[in-house]
Amino acid sequence: MAPVTASLVGVCLGVFALEYAFHIAERPDLLSRWALSRDGLASGMWWTVVTHMFLHANLLHLMVNVLGLWFIGPEVEMMLGRSRYLLLYFISGIAGGLLQTAFAAPSSELVGASGALCGVLLSFTTAYPEMPLQALLFFVLPVRMKAKTLGRGLVLLSLLFAMVRFLPQIGHLAHLGGALAGAFLTWWWLPSSKARRPVPVMRGDPQQRTDELLARVVEEGIEGLSREERRQLERLADRGGRRRGA
């Protein structure tokens, strides 16, 4: 259903396995060749604007980014299409990395997919601002809010934390830059991409699911459904026909 997201997650996991196998975090000379820094860019290591997105400082850093991408990425991939989604991911990660590096010490090294992830998250909240969400505050407390509240909160907190230097080991400006890039690209593409609602989860009463999809057809026309939603409607219709026939 989301091959680009699955591929990105797979690359992050594979790269972390290599980091662990070769003890890259313990070898500054090797880490500097792939992490993003002003010194590195000044010396011509331009590839680090991309490679830093697939390195992670530790297992917790990796899992936060991978799980966030795994949950929100498929919705944005379906909404924008694979090519635009991949482009948004890399542009957000690069924008966040460059913003963080511009205001950091020249030798400060940046790693992680957080900037790209924030771009994906803001893409979702920009496309579906009124959608109710349940977020985990500090990864513990469940809080219900609208998507636009989550997006705006991420932007404002990233800016505030960067200004007061709260937890300076975290790249708050990378989050900010990635989030703004993701929001802008989605705002730019939205009229042509015709953002669709996420695919309904195949649970509950089949008649209810059929009614929901039929309501979408009445409201938006059959072209308003994604390919997967059309297949769902066909399967539900076939299932209902077989039941009536029996």
Same domain, 34 and 143: yes
189 and 222 part of one domain: no
Q: What is the pLDDT of residues 78-109, one digit of tens each?
A: 999 999 999 999 999 999 999 999 999 999 99
Q: State what percent of residues in the chain have pLDDT above 90.
A: 60
Within this chain, do residues 26 and 107 fall inside the same structural domain, yes or no? yes
Residue 185 resides in a domain = yes
**Catalytic-role residue among 37, 114, 123, 158:** 114
Question: Active site residue: 52, 56, 172, 175, which one?
Answer: 175
- Report the CATH number that the domain containing residue 46 is assigned in CATH: 1.20.1540.10
Q: In this structure, is residue 66 part of a structural domain?
A: yes
Verify that 138 and 226 share a domain, yes or no. Answer: no
Q: Does 213 lie in the same domain as 132?
A: no
Same domain, 90 and 186: yes
Residue 200 included in any domain: no
Same domain for 213 and 178:
no
Is the separation of the CB atoms in 127 and 152 below 8 Å? no
Q: What is the pLDDT of residues 101-151, one digit of tens each?
A: 999 999 999 999 999 999 999 999 999 998 888 776 655 677 888 999 999
- The question of whether 114 is a catalytic residue gets the answer yes
For residues 167 and 224, membership in a common domain is answered with no
C-alpha–C-alpha distance, residues 148 and 124, integer Å: 9
Q: What is the mean pLDDT of the chain?
A: 84
Same-domain status, 93 and 141:
yes
CB atoms within 10 A of CB 69: 23
Stated pTM of the model: 0.77
Active site residue 175: yes
Per the structure, the complete domain to which residue 143 belongs is given by: 3-193
Q: What pLDDT is recorded for position 73?
A: 95
Q: Within a 10 A sphere around the Cβ of 46, how many other Cβ atoms?
A: 9
What is the domain count for the chain?
2
Mean per-residue pLDDT for 57-75? 93
Report which residue type is found at 88.
Answer: L
